[in-house]
């Protein structure tokens, strides 16, 4: 048995000491970070892979704001891959597989296809995929005969402006503008359609200048997997739909089966970055780095909905865990991600100042429009539900998904939950929450005299505070309105 001499610290046990600052405005602060090799974020925030936090709408919104989402794994592999696909298709300056239709199809069929795919145009091709024309909503809107063939109203090939497969964003924008058109088909040497650029997608790019994008202009997204045999095909399905990285996520990440899974993933998908976790010690970080992880998630029992520390007695207070793990990560050149327990921008700043490259947020984002599930009203106030992924209801839901049906009531009693289900206040759009959080972080960085995250790591000086200091740190001796 060992007893460590120093108490572990968490966010409320410390403050950051202000330093001389050359920064005149918060806008001079750069919050960019490297999450993984080849994956940069403008804001160092990930949305948690929890079923009350991240499905496609959250992942789209957070990637547009400059962070990234991790699609949870508590659904069938098919549904998870479909969520990845939706994120990758949400925005791109090239639609890689545009929806096509044959020239002989009816206008009614064309309208159905457009509605189903929620798009305003179809590319008309022959059986070999060669371009014959373009059909847009405008072409069919006032057509008298819905059974008329597409070719009777489409813009035919000779009147179309097209571009080569490797068309660049600038020249595409110019072509769309000069010809006052909305769609630019991309064709190969044989006139086969290899993509489509639309004016709407280029406008969307301009709306979100901080968005986290891959080389094709698509939003980035991660996919969470577990450590069991079916998780390999799950990973493969998500990667096929374009997932940018995988997150091997189990409660106790410093474990042999996690190491085996990470090594296997690195063998099977050598070009895919892998985040692994969760751990709470430098040994855990080194263990996962040795298995091949590209980044490690830190936090055991620190989450808002966690009961791991109560049920098992295990955990490390989160600030100490981040400080120690980030130091180990720094020696290995490996980013660590602070996961769990962040309640406000002050906690976020402290987590990053302690050495994390980014932070994962659960409950703080669960109350937004983009989190899964409807809002509920209690005593006249609006809430949304957040639940631990090891809570009773999440465990039952997972078993039902695995069995593809309801489970025996006896099985309910076999569950030993390590998380709870809870209500969080409804908070509106995630973009607004992120704006506040990043504003607070920028302000915090300016108190440290840090223009960048590496400078924050360098300059950060923590001071431990007493319960009296904690009282002084919040509004006191006034009645807050
Ligand atoms: P916050 O505090 O941001 O934490 O809501 C989110 C993180 O909590 C972890 N998590 C759990 N931990 N039991 C646990 O001990 C659970 O049921 C549970 N569900 C989520 C997870 O790391 C998440 O990102």
When the pLDDT of each residue in the chain is averaged and rounded to a whole number, the result is: 94
The answer to whether position 166 is within a domain reads: yes
Pairing state between β 121-125 and 100-101: parallel
DSSP string, 214-237: -TTSPBP-EEEE-SSTTHHHHHHH
Are 284 and 387 in the same domain?
Answer: yes
465: domain CATH number is 3.20.20.70
Q: b/e for 208-231, b at 16 or more Cβ within 10 A?
A: bebbbbbeebbbbbbbbbbbeeeb
Residue of 111, 213, 208 lying closest to 434 (CA atoms): 208
pLDDT at 399: 83
The answer to whether position 5 is within a domain reads: no
Q: 47 C-alpha vs ligand 1 centroid, how far in Å?
A: 11
Residue closest by Cα to atom 14 of ligand 1 = 306
The answer to whether position 4 is within a domain reads: no
Cβ atoms of residues 235 and 223 within 8 Å:
yes
Residues with Cβ < 8 Å from 191, sequence gap 6 or more? 130, 131, 157
Q: Which atom of ligand 1 is nearest to the CA of 361?
A: 3
Query: Among 207, 228, 252, where does a domain finish?
Result: 207
The answer to whether position 6 is within a domain reads: no
For residue 136, the SS3 value is strand
For residue 333, the SS3 value is coil
Are 250 and 316 in the same domain?
Answer: yes
Please give the positions annotated as active site.
Answer: 306
Are 323 and 365 in the same domain?
Answer: yes
Query: Among 160, 182, 207, where does a domain finish?
Result: 207
165: domain CATH number is 3.10.580.10
Residue of 210, 237, 211 lying closest to 223 (CA atoms): 237
Structurally, how many domains does the chain consist of? 2
pLDDT at 166: 86
Query: Among 156, 175, 207, where does a domain finish?
Result: 207
- Residue 143: which domain range? 100-207
Are 460 and 445 in the same domain?
Answer: yes
Residue closest by Cα to atom 3 of ligand 1 = 362
Q: Which element (helix H / strand E) includes 383?
A: strand 381-387
CA 66, 294, 277, 464 torsion-angle sign: negative
Mutate to test the pocket of ligand 1, among 284, 305, 390, 433 (most ligand atoms within 8 A of CB): 305
Write out pLDDT tens, residues 424-473: 999 999 999 999 999 999 999 999 999 999 999 999 999 999 999 999 99
Task: Look up residue 393 and give its two tokens.
Answer: 């209801």
Ligand 1 site residues, Cβ closer than 6 angstroms: 48, 50, 251, 278, 299, 301, 303-306, 308, 339-342, 360-364, 388-391, 418-419
Residue closest by Cα to atom 20 of ligand 1 = 388
Write out pLDDT tens, residues 208-243: 999 999 988 899 999 999 999 899 999 999 999 999
Cβ atoms of residues 16 and 444 within 8 Å:
yes
Q: 404 C-alpha vs ligand 1 centroid, how far in Å?
A: 25
Q: Which atom of ligand 1 is nearest to the CA of 419?
A: 17
Are 228 and 194 in the same domain?
Answer: no
Are 105 and 248 in the same domain?
Answer: no
Task: Look up residue 231 and give its two tokens.
Answer: 């998780």
Are 42 and 55 in the same domain?
Answer: yes
Q: In DSSP terms, which residues pair with 277 in a beta bridge?
A: 249, 297
Are 278 and 342 in the same domain?
Answer: yes
Write out pLDDT tens, residues 300-316: 999 999 999 999 999 99
For residue 166, the SS3 value is coil
Write out pLDDT tens, residues 28-63: 999 999 999 999 999 999 999 999 999 999 999 999
The answer to whether position 266 is within a domain reads: yes
Mean pLDDT of 11-31: 94
Q: 69 C-alpha vs ligand 1 centroid, how far in Å?
A: 15
Are 176 and 310 in the same domain?
Answer: no
pLDDT at 81: 98
Indicate if the pLDDT at residue 187 is higher than 80. yes
Q: Which atom of ligand 1 is nearest to the CA of 360?
A: 24
Indicate if the pLDDT at residue 412 is higher than 80. no
Are 171 and 54 in the same domain?
Answer: no
Q: Which atom of ligand 1 is nearest to the CA of 364?
A: 3
Write out pLDDT tens, residues 383-392: 999 999 988 8
């Amino acid at each position: 048995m060992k007893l460590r001499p120093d108490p572990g610290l968490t966010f409320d046990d410390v403050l950051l000491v202000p330093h001389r600052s050359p920064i005149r405005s918060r806008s001079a602060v750069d919050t960019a970070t490297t999450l993984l090799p080849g994956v940069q974020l403008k804001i160092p925030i990930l949305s948690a892979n929890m079923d009350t936090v991240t499905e496609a709408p959250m992942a789209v919104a957070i990637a547009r704001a400059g962070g990234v989402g991790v699609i949870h794994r508590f659904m069938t592999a098919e549904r998870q891959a479909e969520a990845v696909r939706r994120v990758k298709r949400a925005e791109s300056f090239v639609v890689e597989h545009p929806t096509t239709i044959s020239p002989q199809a009816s206008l009614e069929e064309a309208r159905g296809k457009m509605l189903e795919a929620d798009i305003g145009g179809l590319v008309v091709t022959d059986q070999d995929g060669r371009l014959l024309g373009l059909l847009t909503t405008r072409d069919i809107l006032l057509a008298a005969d819905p059974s008329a063939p597409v070719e009777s109203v489409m813009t035919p090939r000779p009147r179309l402006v097209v571009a080569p497969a490797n068309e660049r964003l600038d020249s595409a924008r110019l072509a769309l503008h000069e010809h006052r058109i909305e769609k630019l088909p991309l064709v190969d040497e044989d006139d086969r359609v290899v993509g489509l650029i639309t004016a709407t997608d280029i406008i969307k790019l301009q709306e979100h200048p901080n968005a986290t994008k891959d080389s094709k202009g698509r939003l980035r997204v991660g996919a969470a997997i577990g450590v069991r045999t079916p998780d390999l095909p799950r990973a493969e399905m998500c990667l096929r739909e374009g997932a940018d990285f995988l997150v091997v996520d189990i409660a106790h990440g410093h474990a042999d089966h996690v190491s085996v899974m990470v090594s296997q993933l690195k063998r099977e998908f050598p070009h895919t970055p892998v985040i692994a976790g969760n751990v709470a010690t430098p040994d855990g970080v080194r263990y996962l780095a040795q298995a091949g992880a590209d980044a490690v998630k830190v936090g055991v029992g620190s989450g808002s909905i966690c009961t791991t520390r109560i049920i098992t007695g295990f955990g490390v207070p989160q600030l100490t865990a981040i400080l120690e793990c980030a130091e180990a990560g720094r020696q290995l050149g490996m980013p660590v991600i602070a996961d769990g327990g962040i309640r406000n921008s002050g906690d976020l700043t402290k987590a990053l100042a302690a050495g994390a490259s980014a932070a994962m947020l659960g409950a703080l984002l669960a109350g937004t429009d983009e989190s899964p599930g409807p809002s509920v009203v209690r005593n006249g106030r609006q809430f949304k539900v957040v639940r631990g992924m090891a809570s009773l209801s999440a465990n039952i839901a997972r078993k039902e998904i695995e069995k593809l049906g309801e489970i025996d009531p006896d099985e309910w009693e076999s569950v030993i939950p390590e998380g709870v289900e809870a209500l969080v206040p409804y908070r509106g759009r995630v973009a607004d929450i992120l704006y506040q959080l990043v504003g607070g972080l920028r302000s915090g960085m300016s108190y440290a005299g840090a223009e960048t995250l590496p400078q924050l790591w360098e300059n950060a000086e923590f001071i431990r505070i007493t319960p009296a200091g904690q009282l002084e740190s919040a509004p006191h001796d006034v009645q807050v309105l």
